[in-house]
């Protein structure tokens, strides 16, 4: 048994890649299956907000002279 990744042979590297690929597919599959894809009318829709007349907002009644 080889305990170092640096001195491992080609077959050991291949096994590591295969295990990592299978684990990635399982995680992605779990994420896709856990996604709530129910279409019960609560879907978000785009809303358009139109600009109105300009408004002056101030926090004090002091006038500023420039």
Does residue 3 lie within any of the structural domains? yes
Does residue 45 lie within any of the structural domains? no
Does residue 49 lie within any of the structural domains? no
pLDDT digits (tens, 9 = 90+) for 21-64: 999 999 999 988 887 655 555 666 778 888 888 877 767 666 66
Q: What are the DSSP calls for the chain, one per residue?
A: ----SSS--HHHHHHHHHHHHHHHHHHHHHHHHHS----SS-----------S-----S-------
Does residue 1 lie within any of the structural domains? yes
The whole-number pLDDT of residue 32 equals: 87
Note the pTM of the prediction, 2 decimals: 0.49
C-alpha to C-alpha distances, 26 to 22, 30, 31, 32, nearest whole angstrom:
6, 6, 9, 10
Domain containing residue 7: 1-35
Does residue 54 lie within any of the structural domains? no
Both tokens of residue 54?
């300009």
Q: What is d(CA 9, CA 53) in angstroms, rounded to the nearest whole number?
A: 73
Into how many domains does the chain fold? 1
Does residue 9 lie within any of the structural domains? yes
Does residue 18 lie within any of the structural domains? yes
Does residue 15 lie within any of the structural domains? yes
């Amino acid at each position: 048994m080889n305990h170092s990744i640096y001195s491992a042979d080609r077959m050991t590297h291949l096994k590591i890649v295969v295990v990592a690929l299978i684990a990635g597919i399982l995680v992605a599959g779990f994420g896709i299956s856990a996604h709530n894809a129910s279409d019960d009318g609560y879907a978000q829709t785009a809303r358009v907000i139109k600009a109105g007349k300009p408004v002056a907002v101030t926090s004090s009644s002091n006038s500023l002279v420039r």
